[in-house]
Amino acid sequence: MFSKKNIGITIIFLGAAIIMVRTFFLRSTEYAFILQITGIILFFGGGLLIPDFTGKNKQEKET
């Protein structure tokens, strides 16, 4: 099973790939705009999954 961090990294790469495909191959069309918005949402949404802050690490430092 993938961890939350690995899924976030995969989503970021997918979003970046979509943005690059849109930039290099698709010009100003309605479909390209929708694809760009989807790529941006995936790119930044995946970034929210990467941080792996847990209370466990904080408790271990205190003891």
Please state the domain extents for the chain: 4-52
Residue whose C-alpha is closest to residue 23's, from 39, 10, 12 = 39
> For residue 56, what pLDDT is reported?
62
Give pTM, 2 decimals. Answer: 0.72
Is residue 22 within 8 Å of residue 43, measured between CB atoms? no
Asked whether 11 and 32 are in contact (CB, 8 A), the reply is no
User: What pLDDT was estimated at residue 53?
Assistant: 60
Among 2, 49, 46, 43, smallest CA distance to 21 is for: 43
pLDDT by residue (tens digit) across 3-46?
Answer: 888 888 899 999 999 999 888 888 778 888 888 999 999 999 98
